[in-house]
Structure 1
């Protein structure tokens, strides 16, 4: 009972830390009524670099006195064409018009607007569009949900008619073009939607002329706006690929000189297209159709520079960075995957010849210089993702050749980081490079998260605001690197202390990592925190020795489930607008719409699995580990037997990465990011263990006592187990040292059946007594 009690208590401690991390949430401001009328003005394709005092003076003045932000125009289709943008605006959810998008080019809208009377209009295609979104698309959007939430609405222009049409196609008030005096029309209903055309193309002069015409019409809208009204101007959609961030300006009482933000982004200066509908209803003091709206009401927060050009430069720069990130991220991960595959192939012959031959005749060893070069390449490969994350400190996206600037910056950082690891104290120890790389990777990601995750937003190894999936906290790649780095650090530190204290060290380091990942103030990733809790529980359970048995895996699963249940209970007690993703999912299960979330997650997993380069990284790493490193000649089993805490760390990483990807809808992306760090370091440590597999230590020369095997070079910080083969749940080695060794014992060439390379204590004592030589 005393032996079983510590794992239970440690598991409970991890659960408490996980629930604590997820339970505390930032205080959110309750939206309040600020206007009697709302006017939504849409200009498809309008970006912040189209706005200046000469071309768009009206919009410039409006931005000066109102609140501004970058608008992500994600819809159910890529790209978000104008008709999709207008439909998403009216649905408050990711919606799309019927039809395909061939070659990334937006087809003609093809919207039919009938005017059976002189007041309103009718969209005959609306019912089929509603059925398409309800039955074919995974978001459950209901086009017309915004119009259904108010008593009366006005539409000006065909795009506005799409947004303001009710689900059965009726538009309450309609005008095909903006009247010379729009005041009577805009004042006839509490909600007005105005289409001011499109700004499209790459030609600067053509875009300026289109923006100038839209600005002139906006001047008439502002002149005719009703009293005590909120006017929202939005670049409602893309016009072609690649997607971009667009203009968002709010002008009205309570929206003075701030940044626009939303609970769906959690980032100052960013909001989504789906947030505009709930923002309009919140400003009018109308109730929300919670099941239909995916967006949340936007807010105005302080902190905006008083100088307008400086303020506008921020969203314009974010748009350039997001556009460059889309172009660069694909080839970066493709090159990384290719480089790691080639490096894995190069390591295979080294693993075969790494074990030194103790006899007079044998194959020639690999030259030390070659081994040193391969080790440096392995270190660089493991540090590639942290270096790419750190590259966003330099504004590489502002240059004419952004990709080359990013590559140069990343290479310089990678060389510096590799040199730091190479010349760090303890580099010659078996686990020295692994500990240094893991610590450096964890430090880079943690520092970014603790300072607001600014490097991950629109970063090559982070997440893009254009995707609309995440705007703050820890991204998919960051989760993989941070989970792997923190668990490897925990294992490396645990290996340096006595066996009985190792679970404590793993829980301390892993628990802190869970808090960083799950806290809404930091990583804001509840799924990642649940997955990491399971990984930490596994690592703590086997850090003293033994394998990942079914019972230990069940303990880890129970820990993750306990965190999930604890957080779910707390999350469901919050108001609907303040719930996290888990609380919203459980609420959806209660009202019968949870199947949509499951459908979206499974669809996202499949698409990511097929299209992501990180899938190649994950599969290549798994193949190298299974078919090479875990073979008798591969060295990883020997490493696991001598350093059980490292085996625990790698097993916990596998559990955390697998669960994080599966539950988060990112398939093998988390595992691929974790593998990019773990697999090169596992290969390097295996090479070093094999290199020392035939070392001998004379009694009394200061070498390891009690038959300690796989010893690091003198002065190294590694602490191999004194009895590596007899840890909990392990078998005694039978392939590395004979029970009655001859006067000149043969080199060790087998792999421990379950515990590595060390013989049991009795065998080791007998060997030393009879021969005076301890086999290492």
Structure 2
């Protein structure tokens, strides 16, 4: 009865932990009406390094009094050129202007604006633009959704006309440029959109002159602003490649001296272009078209330094880091893939020759120094991704040669981590390096998440604010590392306790990891938490040995479904602006727009599968495991038979990584990040377990131990095992925590007899023929 009830209790425990983590969300107040008028002023290409007291005194004073942030100008097309940025601003959703454009530079706005009556204007191409976004894009954007949400709007300049045009092309009030006295025009409607020009190129003098002209026009807008008005200044787009972060400033009642943020970013000081339209409507107290807007109203939070120069250093530094991150990420993962390939080629002959023969005739063993060197390289390559994450502690992006600085810092961290693993107590045991590497990875990722995920944002192995996909919590690579590290740690710890306690250890460690991943305060990744729950359930089910039977798979599936349903019910009961990704998807399914989400997810999976270097890592790891490590000569099956908890951990890692990647739209990226950590450690453990495949216990009287006359074999006690040197100077075999009395440690997962003696489970039982023992252990 206890054995039948235990899986049910463990499943309930995993579900309760997961729902508790996902259900708690930071409390936030709904945005309240703060203004009678809103003025949106856009300057395409304006960055924070263009702002200073001499060149842009008006914007400087406005930033000093108002709230500031870094603006991600993502649209439906990359890079976001001015016409795409203005269109996205007016749609409150990721939109793009139809038509072709060059790949090296962004063209001017260049739209046709007709003025049939001298009051408003008309965009004759607007109908085609609406159809293009509805039929050819997967975001469901409706250009003009912002202007449709107010009774009257004003546009000044061609870019503003693109943002203010209604879906049928009409602009209510239009002026091609600011009049001598803008006050009557800006006060004629509650919403005004002003095009202040563009700042383009990389020549400092040219950019300063363009920024000076935009600042002079901004001074006229501020002088003519209506009473009780909110003025938003934004660098609405890029003006060339590469993409950058841009200026966002809000000045008005209730927006004094803070950081701008929104629910779409969840990070102080960051805003998205799609958030500007909802912010304008929320400030005016107008209802929002929830089905059309992907953005959420911005809010201001405290904590900004009193000195504006010190405050502006943060967004300017974030812009430099995000620009450097794009240049460095490609070659880092290319080098990582190359290192993994070379090590895989080096490991294959070692696996072939690692099994030692008990008889006098056999292949010449590989020199111990060569094996030790390969083991250190395996540890180093497994620590490369955690070291790259930790490298962001040092501001490497501020130097002239950012890539070299990053490479130097990462190499030093890899060397330090490898040395720590080499000299940690227990390194000589079969699973010692695996447990140490997994523990280091978990500590690095968990410490970053617990301190606000500051190493993830704009990090080489994190996520980029320029992409606009994620701004807080765990990224794709971080999730893969954390899944692999936490489950391997759970398996390593479970292997050290008795059989009946192993599922509890796996659930305890995995459940805590699910809380870290899913909590909105920490990892903020409900999809990752659901995937990790499924992996933990699989690992707990087979941690005591045996195969993944149908009943065990059913319990694991039920745990994942129960967590998903529980979180979905809670998320759907929240207000629409506070829902998570799962709640928004289910709401979209209810109103008939869920197909767009499915289409976006499938498109993202395909694009990531084809273009991501992590796909290569995932496929390379799968090939090495399947065609080498899982072969009879590969050692992994022997490792799994002797250490069933490690087999459970690796199976759970594979399940969680694949589910998490597919459901989040990142294909095999999560699996690639997990494999970069788990596969080298699996190869190292397989080498060590093969190295001890022919180890023999000593007979009691010193006679032969092969079942021949002359003495009966004895089981060595713990002191004998600890003192026994490894063969040929190799690592000393470890022993199970169960001791000689627990034969379950040594029983292969397939139910064969296995090694029932004490000591290291990888060592043979006395009295067996060498070849027979080898065949049984590898079956």
Q: What interval of TM-score do these two structures reach, taking the shorter chain for normalisation?
A: over 0.9
Between the aligned partners of 2:188 and 2:453, the Cα distance in structure 1 is 45
What residue in structure 2 maps to residue 247 of structure 1?
Answer: 247
Task: Give the drift of 1:547.
Answer: 1.9
Tell me, what secondary structure is at the counterpart of 1:445? Answer: helix
Q: Hey, what does 2:743 align to over in structure 1?
A: 722
Residue in 2 that maps onto 1:400: 400
Give 3-state SS (helix, strand or coil) of 2:103's partner: helix
CA distance, structure 2, for counterparts of residue 11 and residue 29 of structure 1: 35
State the distance in 1 between where 2:514 and 2:745 align: 29
Counterpart contact for 2:545–2:644, Cα < 8 Å = yes
Shift of 1:716: 4.0
Aligned counterpart, 1:746: 770
Q: CA deviation at 1:105?
A: 2.4
Matches within 5 A, 1:615-764: 615-699=615-699, 703=716, 714=732, 716=734, 718-719=736-737, 722-724=743-745, 726=747, 730-732=751-753, 745-747=769-771, 750-752=774-776, 756=777
* CA positional deviation for 1:727: 6.7
Question: By how many angstroms is 1:731 displaced?
Answer: 3.8
* Cα displacement (A) at 1:100: 3.2
Distance in structure 2 (CA, Å) of the matches to 1:704 and 1:286: 78
2:3 is paired with a residue whose SS is coil
Distance in 2 of aligned mates of 1:670 and 1:728 = 28
* 2-structure distance, mates of 1:715, 1:54: 70
Shift of 1:360: 1.2
**Aligned match of 2:337:** 337
Cα distance 1:727–1:566, how it changes in 2: closer, same or farther (>3 A)? Answer: farther
Task: Give 2:317's aligned residue.
Answer: 317
For residues 589-609 of structure 1, what are the alpha-carbon distances to aligned partners after superposition, in whole Å with 9 as ceiling and x for unaligned?
000000000000000000000
Give the conservation status (yes or no) of the 8 Å contact 1:426–1:715. Answer: no
CA contact (8 A) 1:93 1:274 kept: yes
Give 1:769's aligned residue: none
Say whether residues 1:354 and 2:354 are aligned partners.
Answer: yes
Query: Contact 2:67–2:260 at 8 Å: present in 1 too?
Result: yes
SS in 2 for 1:696: coil
Contact 1:79 1:104 in 2 (8 A): no
Q: Is the 8 A contact 1:517 1:526 kept in 2?
A: yes
Q: 1:626 to 1:57 in 2, by over 3 A?
A: same
The 8 Å contact of residues 692 and 733 in structure 2, kept in 1 or not, is answered as no
Name the structure 2 match of 1:774: none
**1:291-330 to 2 correspondence within 5 Å?**
291-330=291-330
* Partners of 2:660 and 2:670 within 8 A in 1: yes
Pairing of 1:117-136 with structure 2 (within 5 A)? 117-136=117-136
Q: TM-score, with normalisation over the residues of structure 1?
A: 0.94
Query: What is the rounded CA distance, in whole Å, between the counterparts of 1:450 and 1:741 in structure 2?
Result: 47
Unaligned 5+ segments in structure 1 are 759-776
Q: How does 1:515-534 map to 2 (within 5 A)?
A: 515-534=515-534
Alpha-carbon contact 1:432-1:717 (below 8 Å) kept? no
- Indicate the residue corresponding to 1:548 in structure 2: 548
Distance 1:415 1:718 in 2: 30
Correspondence list, 1:266-665, <5 A: 266-665=266-665
Query: Once the 2 structures are TM-superposed, how far is the Cα of residue 348 of structure 1 from its aligned partner?
Result: 0.2
Q: Provide the C-alpha distance between the structure 2 equivalents of 1:21 and 1:512, rounded to a whole number of angstroms.
A: 9
Q: Provide the rounded CA distance (Å) in 2 between the counterparts of 1:743 and 1:461.
A: 52
| Secondary structure at the counterpart of residue 76 of structure 1 | coil
Alignment partners' CA distance in 2, 1:741 and 1:519: 48
- In the alignment, the residues of structure 2 paired with residue 94 and residue 741 of structure 1 have an alpha-carbon distance, to the nearest angstrom, of 66
Question: 1:201 Cα shift?
Answer: 0.4
Aligned-residue offset at 1:567: 0.2
On the 8 A contact 2:463/2:470 being kept in 1, the answer is: yes
Counterpart residue number, 1:111: 111
* 1:751 to 1:526, Cα distance in 2 relative to 1, 3 A: farther
SS of residue paired to 1:304: coil
Is the aligned partner of 1:200 residue 2:200?
Answer: yes
8 Å CA contact 2:499–2:745 kept in 1: the answer is no
Tell me how far apart the structure 2 counterparts of residues 253 and 438 of structure 1 sit (CA, whole Å): 51
**Aligned pair in 2 of structure 1 residues 747, 711: CA closer, same or farther (>3 Å)?**
farther
| Alpha-carbon distance change, 471 to 744 in structure 1, aligned in 2, over 3 angstroms | closer
Deviations, residues 751-775 of structure 1 (Å, cap 9, x unaligned):
54xxx459xxxxxxxxxxxxxxxxx
Shift of 1:730: 2.8
Partners of 1:154 and 1:677 lie apart in 2 by 56
CA distance in 2, matches of 1:719, 1:100: 67
In structure 1, the residue matched to 2:12 is: 12
Asked whether the equivalents of residues 42 and 196 of structure 2 are also in contact (C-alpha less than 8 Å), the reply is yes
TM-score by length of 2: 0.94
In the TM superposition, residue 699 of structure 1 has moved relative to its aligned partner by 4.8
- How far apart are the structure 1 equivalents of 2:620 and 2:176? 58
Q: Is the 8 A contact 2:697 2:765 kept in 1?
A: no
Q: Secondary structure at the match of 2:231?
A: strand
Do the aligned residues in 1 keep the contact of 2:697 with 2:766 (CA within 8 Å)? no
How far apart in 2 are the matches of 1:240 and 1:722?
67
Residues 190-229 of structure 1 mapped to structure 2, 5 A cutoff = 190-229=190-229
Following superposition, the deviation at residue 107 of structure 1 comes to: 3.0
Distance 2:207 2:391 in 1: 32
How far residue 704 of structure 1 moved from its aligned partner, in angstroms, is 6.0
Q: Distance in 1 between matches of 2:95 and 2:403?
A: 33
Contact kept? 2:352, 2:634, Cα under 8 Å: yes
Cα distance change, pair 93–371 in 1 and its aligned pair in 2 (3 A)? same
1:772 counterpart residue number: none
What is the CA deviation profile of residues 156-175 of structure 1, one whole-angstrom value per residue up to 9, with x for unaligned ones? 00000000000000000000
User: In the superposition, relative to structure 1, how do residues 360 and 140 fare at CA in structure 2: closer, same or farther (>3 Å)?
Assistant: same
In 2, distance between residues paired with 1:406 and 1:101? 35
Q: CA deviation at 1:3?
A: 1.7
SS at match of 2:194: strand
Q: Deviations over 1:320-369 (max 9, x none)?
A: 00010011111111110111011111100000000112211211100000
Alignment partners' CA distance in 2, 1:502 and 1:467? 42
How many Å separate the matches in 2 of 1:32 and 1:593?
28
Q: Which residue of 1 aligns with 2:173?
A: 173
Partners of 2:16 and 2:518 in 1: CA distance: 12
Measured in 1, the distance between the counterparts of 2:749 and 2:437 equals 29
Q: CA deviation at 1:717?
A: 6.1
Structure 2, unpaired ranges of 5+: 701-713
Q: Deviations over 1:618-673 (max 9, x none)?
A: 00000000000000000000000000000000000000000000000000000000
The separation in 2 between residues aligned to 1:37 and 1:743, in whole angstroms, is 91
> Does the residue aligned with 1:697 lie in a helix, a strand or coil?
coil
Q: CA deviation at 1:719?
A: 4.2
After superposition, the Cα gap between the structure-2 partners of 1:172 and 1:717, relative to the gap in structure 1 and judged at 3 Å, is farther
User: SS of 1:457's equivalent?
Assistant: coil
Aligned residue-pair number: 752
Is the contact between residue 262 and residue 299 of structure 2 (CA under 8 Å) also seen in structure 1? yes
